[in-house]
Structure 1
Amino acid sequence: MKTLLALAAAGGLVIAGVLAGVSQASESATSPASPIYGVSLPQGYRQWELIAPALEDAPLNELRAVVGNKATVDAYARNSQPFPDGTVLVKLAWKRQPSAEFATATVPGAATTVQVMVKDSKKYAATGGWGFGRFIDGKPADEAQHRTCFACHAARASGHDFVFTRYAP
């Protein structure tokens, strides 16, 4: 609920029922792992603290919420970078659609992806210390989609330990 309220307040969005009502990958200790990195959906991520909401315009036209585990929240609170090993960020994304109840509001439509970043500086040394996972309907995206993860983060966010998301106070 804290995530919903923060998203609504930060983005001026009407998102009642987002986390409960969206058909999205269920987290489990046995979820399939991503190719290349071996990252899986972390157990309990839907209850993690909101780091920041985001809107993506064309071509994706998505609403996004980035949540983080305790190590992530603590690192942001200390303004500590690079992020420590054990940091995990999860981005949930939905297609944007107009609200049926409030014409100027945007609400989540169909779920698109759940994306995961895991910090392990030894295991993922070749990719800035980060492993990546992209999941569609609870299943890992193909290897070609995972090959683009680090290149995009390296090109655009290398000065912030390869993380795009800034903490929303």
Structure 2
Amino acid sequence: MPSIQDRIVSKAQALIKAAGTPAADRVFRSRTEAITRDMTPAIVLRPSLETTERESLAVDRNQFELTVEIIAREDTVTGDAWDQVADLVKVAVHAVLATEDAFPEADRVQRFYVDWIEDEGDNTAGNCLVRYRFTYLCNTGDLTTGPTYY
């Protein structure tokens, strides 16, 4: 069975794909291949930092960061700049990830970081990096299950 952290990433990907965001089905996990012009806007989900604190003898409190990278280009039809296109994707993704009870394993989901990066040499394209922090409990000796008692 995958870890709670991995299940959160999988669930995020499935929810974003199903939500009909401007990225449509172009939602990837840890993609290393280049995103072509006709594939934008696109979203790449990347697990980031995870920290753990001992909550009790048998329970750990984990904070897991998920980076949502939005790759966007200027919309040549509407004239919207890349950051306007990325902003629409960001709003749609946030509505999905911040939905109450979307992640049953997580006690808390918090957006805590946004960065806008214009691609050098191509100012019609850029990346919007959004980081979410998921807080969840798990058994100290088992990363796949939450505590049965606390």
Q: TM (normalized to structure 1)?
A: 0.35
Higher relative contact order (CA 8 A, sep 6+): 2
Larger Rg: 2
- The two structures have a TM-score, normalised by structure 2, of 0.38
Question: Is the helix fraction higher in 1 or 2?
Answer: 1
